[in-house]
Every structure is written in C-alpha cells, then in structure tokens.
Structure 1
C-alpha cells in the first residue's frame, strides 16, 4: 500500500512552494514597476519612446463625473453593491427552531471613475476583478418584520417565524485613496487607462505600494516555511513506511527460509523412513513440504482463508491475521478444515 499520508504532505508542500514562488514573483514585479509620483508624469512617459507594455504603480483619490448617491447613507460613490437577506427561524425535524436566512436582493452599480492627484487623472478599468480590491460596508440595517396576525399564522403553519430583513450597502466612496498597479495605455483621444496586464499581477488596494510589497514578502516567507515543514514531515512518513515495508519483506524472507529449511528436514526424515517401509507404499504418500503453520512452525496448518483459498496457518494463528501470508489478500473468513 502506498504511503498516502506522506505523499499528500509532499504534494501540499509542492503547492505551498508554488504559491510562495508566485507571491515572491509578484513582489518582485511590484518592486520593478515604474512608480509615478505625479499622474501628469504618466502622460509624458507614454508620449515618449518607451518599452510597451508599461506596468506602473500609481496612487490617487477616487473621483467620477457621474457618482452614485447611496440610498441609505447618502454617500457618493463609484461602485455600489446592495444586498437584502430575509432572516427567519425554521422548524426542523428535531422539533426545535433554528435560525436561517435567504438572499432576497443582490444589486451592483458602477460608473466610470478615475484616480486624481491634482496634477492629472487616470481611468481605472476592471478594478472589481483586481487583487486587493474591497468594498467597505457603508450601511447595515436590520428591519424587523411586521406583526400581522394572519401573516404570522401562515408562516407558523409553514414552520417559519419571520424575524426581519437585513440590508447591507457596500460602497467605494469618492475621495478614497487607492494604489493601483497595472498596465498603462493611452487611446487615440488621449485618455489614459490602467488595466489588467496580459501577464503579471493587477492590484487595486487602499494600501500603499510599500505595504503591498511587504505583505507579499511576508506571505512568500510563510509559504516557504510551511512548505519546508510539510516536506520534512512527508519525507518522514514515506521513510517510515519504506522502512516498515523493508522489515516486513525481510521477515517474510526469513519466514520463507525457515519454512524451506523445515521442508528439507522433513523431506529427509520421510526419505529415511520410506526405506524401512514396504515397497507397496506409493510415492504420492511422501511429503515434500511440511504440514506446519508458517507463522508458529509448531502446529499443523488447518485453516483455509476465504476468498483466496490458501491453507498455510493453524486456526490459532489465523485469528491474529488480517491478510493472507502468501498472497497478501484480505481475509474475510478463516475456515477450519479436517484432513484425517
């Protein structure tokens, strides 16, 4: 049987190693990205002769020409998500009430927006699919259900007790400071955009570039140490299984040697005894192999293993076995036999 525990640890270590390499590679890409201190410099850099694609790291404040006004908080944002969950108590089969919820509404809005630092502006495209992009919760309101007698009775007959509706509003407000790492492009009308590169990471985060690099380096080190630990543990499990397998093989070889030695001794005794018997004794009565149990080598074997059908052990030793000593198949049943 293969050492699945050790192999699983080694495979997990390999996966963590790849994650660590990916995090370290992203950190190196962030370090090598062209940092733009003022957004007006990006336009000059794109107009000049430079190697494309150009991966840059910029910072600025969120702004938009057509911001969205939030319903509950009145905040003005560029990305708004609204969800509504119905919370209720449900009567289960055990006769008790458990709390549960169901999604009633999920709505998302986004308008074109850009980063502005006072010197220029850069539009951000596809930010919701970027790494590190989060929408902070702007409002979380719980509205209790009405106490209508008829409605409450109908819900109770269905095994429900309505508690209320929880409404959550997440928004990216205007004026939020963001750091963006991505590919800078300029279209025919002069609009500068930051988008996901064809190769490499794409980050939109409220953290600074230095904080992103430090965080990626920390995760890369953690993955490295975890990978090393799992590798050592996996090698230990594999080595332990291999040593046990070798010892088991040696034990079986030693047992086979003892059985063959006993068979040769028994055959010699039978040959000596046959010279003293009558010539009418047939050759088939000579025993070339002993009838001894291969485990204890003391009692005669009298147990047949099901389903393999081998008979090589006594009933006493067969009680302690789970697999056949000859073919290693699993023993479902040991049947005692009578040969005399």
Structure 2
C-alpha cells in the first residue's frame, strides 16, 4: 500500500510519486465527483426558439459543471507495478476486475468472493441441466434401439411359421369374394387379417403388411396411431 499522486511526468519531483498509467485501461476510471458552479443565463435568439419547437425544452441558463477528484479522497489502485525512468508506474491488469476504485481491499475481496460463488452455482446449475438433457437423449436413443431390437426378434420368431403357412394362406386370402370387408387387411385390401399389434391389440393387417409397419422407424398402429412394440400372428382354431 503506497500513496500516489497525479503529476506531470516531466516534473522534477515525478520520481517521488507513483505514476498511474491510464493508457489501455479497461476497468473503472477515477471515482470523480461532479461539482456544479454558477448558472450562466442564455440570451434569447432564434436557436433557443428552434430548440423549443423541436421539443428539447426552452433553455434558460447553462449550468457549469466540473468533474474533480476531491482532495484527501482515498483511492485503492490495483495493477501491475514496474520501474520506468527511475520512477514507479502502475497500470491496469486485464485479469483483475479493479484498477482504480474507492473500495477498500476488504470490500474488493468480499465482492470478488461473492462473484465467484455466484458464477460457481450458475455453472453447477447449467452443468446439471446439461447432464439431464444428455441423459434424456441417451434414454430416448436406448428406447428406440430397444424397440427396433424387439421388432427384429419378433420378425425372426414368426418368420419361419409364416413361410410354412404362406402358400396355403395366399390361396385363401387372395380371394376377397369369400371374405367380408371387415376381414380384409386395411393396408393392402387383398389378404385376410392375421397379425395383431402389441400393446394396442388391433387385428387389422395381414402378416406381410404388419411386418412392413413393424420395421418402420416409428412403428404406429394404422388405427389408433399408438406405438407398436411388436406384432403377433393370430391363428384360426
């Protein structure tokens, strides 16, 4: 902690002071105080009338104000100190949130600690949300893979039985005249309804059309639009 003054670098006594370098400073400047002086009346002219017309108000007087640093004001300077021309110079540091401030060292430490806690909990909250979204995406992907696996297993389970009875069924199913409209497949309208969808239980398709529906990216029942887990072949007793 050192005391410093704002002096002209060309001054003979500049070596006894700490120079404050404002060039390139990205943080706060000096905490100056506004001082108001006397009012200077404004003479009425065409310009004042124009200001009144455009809505800027009617000027009466000019207020002389000045930004000054009060004498004896305590200011804390935080930055990089180095020797330059046999004198000490302090400049701002991009890594520090303060340069020149009227806060004390303890107040600065408390404010930076509060900021650190705030950003820590914001990071924890965003991380939790990100993990939740990632887990949800993984769960949905797993469910989709699981549905495809069950569809393939169901297809393999009934594929052999379908091949054995396919010739006999084709002979009877291809004759729509022997069946009522309520017994025809709702997709091809040629074969008898033989496949039931699980879990909705609708018996509305033939085996071939049911397989095609089951192998879709998002298998849905053509009647109720419910998700299909797999299909079951129904045999007449």
Separation of aligned partners in 2, 1:200 and 1:244: 43
Corresponding position of 2:140: 244
1:138 has 2:45 as partner: no
Corresponding position of 1:298: 203
Aligned residue pairs, count: 183
Call closer, same or farther: CA 1:233–1:241 in 2, change over 3 Å: same
Partners of 1:292 and 1:313 within 8 A in 2: no
Separation of aligned partners in 2, 1:294 and 1:194: 79
Higher strand proportion, which one? 1
Separation of aligned partners in 2, 1:134 and 1:259: 79
Give, in angstroms, the shift of residue 125 of structure 1. 0.3
Corresponding position of 1:47: none
1:191 is matched with which residue: 73, 87, 92? 87
Give, in angstroms, the shift of residue 129 of structure 1. 1.7
Separation of aligned partners in 1, 2:146 and 2:120: 39
Corresponding position of 1:224: 120
Alignment RMSD, CA only? 5.0
Separation of aligned partners in 1, 2:58 and 2:53: 16
- Secondary structure of the corresponding residue to residue 217 of structure 1: helix
Partners of 1:293 and 1:313 within 8 A in 2: no
Which residues of 2 match residues 258-337 of structure 1 at below 5 A? 258-271=154-167, 298-300=203-205, 301=209, 315-316=222-223
Segments of structure 2 that go 5 or more residues without pairing to the other structure are: 37-43, 173-192, 230-237
- Secondary structure of the corresponding residue to residue 80 of structure 2: strand
* CA shift digits 1:138-192 (9 cap, x unpaired): 269xxxxx9989848975xxxxx44579x9978351533211122223333x332
Partners of 2:19 and 2:90 within 8 A in 1: yes
**Bigger RCO of structures 1 and 2 (CA < 8 A, at least 6 apart):** 1
Separation of aligned partners in 1, 2:120 and 2:155: 52
- Secondary structure of the corresponding residue to residue 29 of structure 2: coil
Corresponding position of 1:178: 75
Call closer, same or farther: CA 1:134–1:293 in 2, change over 3 Å: farther
Give, in angstroms, the shift of residue 244 of structure 1. 2.5
Call closer, same or farther: CA 1:273–1:230 in 2, change over 3 Å: closer
Q: Scaled by the length of structure 1, what TM-score is found? A: 0.39
Corresponding position of 2:189: none
Computing the radius of gyration from Cα coordinates, the structure with the larger value is 2
Separation of aligned partners in 1, 2:87 and 2:154: 88
- Secondary structure of the corresponding residue to residue 90 of structure 2: strand
Separation of aligned partners in 2, 1:153 and 1:220: 51
Partners of 2:77 and 2:100 within 8 A in 1: yes
Corresponding position of 1:328: none
- Secondary structure of the corresponding residue to residue 237 of structure 1: helix
Q: Scaled by the length of structure 2, what TM-score is found? A: 0.53
